[in-house]
Amino acid sequence: MFNNHTSLCPQSIHLLTTFYLASPLLILQLATCFGLIDEWQFDAFMLDEASGGKPLSSLAFYLFKKMGLVSKFRLDETKLAK
């Protein structure tokens, strides 16, 4: 369901799904956006739509996970997702 570029584990995807109360289609769009973060084709408007109007918090969550900051600083993913 998700592309190979995302580094989110199923638990993180579940947290985002719960937090945004999003449909599977929007979660797929969110994962697609995250997969293009490092590319010129990144679509900030799609991220805004897919994240339910919360692009910065969802991007921050993804980047914290991708860079290993969640585990390094022992952050609670549930609190971070909210």
6-65 confidence digits (pLDDT tens): 456 666 666 666 666 567 777 778 778 888 888 888 889 988 988 888 889 888 988 898
Tell me the C-alpha to C-alpha distance, in Å, between residue 64 and each of 23, 24, 56: 23, 23, 12
Tokens of 41: 């084709």
Determine the pLDDT at residue 19: 63
Determine the pLDDT at residue 78: 83
Sorted by where each begins, the domain ranges of the chain are 21-81
Determine the pLDDT at residue 62: 86
Single-letter amino acid, residue 31: A
**Separation between Cα atoms, residue 61 and residue 41, nearest integer Å:** 20
Q: Please state the separation of Cα 41 from the chain's center in Å.
A: 17
User: Are the CB atoms for 64 and 70 separated by under 8 Å?
Assistant: yes
More confident residue, 4 or 44: 44
Determine the pLDDT at residue 4: 44
Determine the pLDDT at residue 42: 84
Q: Which ranges of 1-82 does DSSP label H, i.e. alpha helix? A: 10-20, 24-35, 44-50, 55-66, 69-72, 77-81
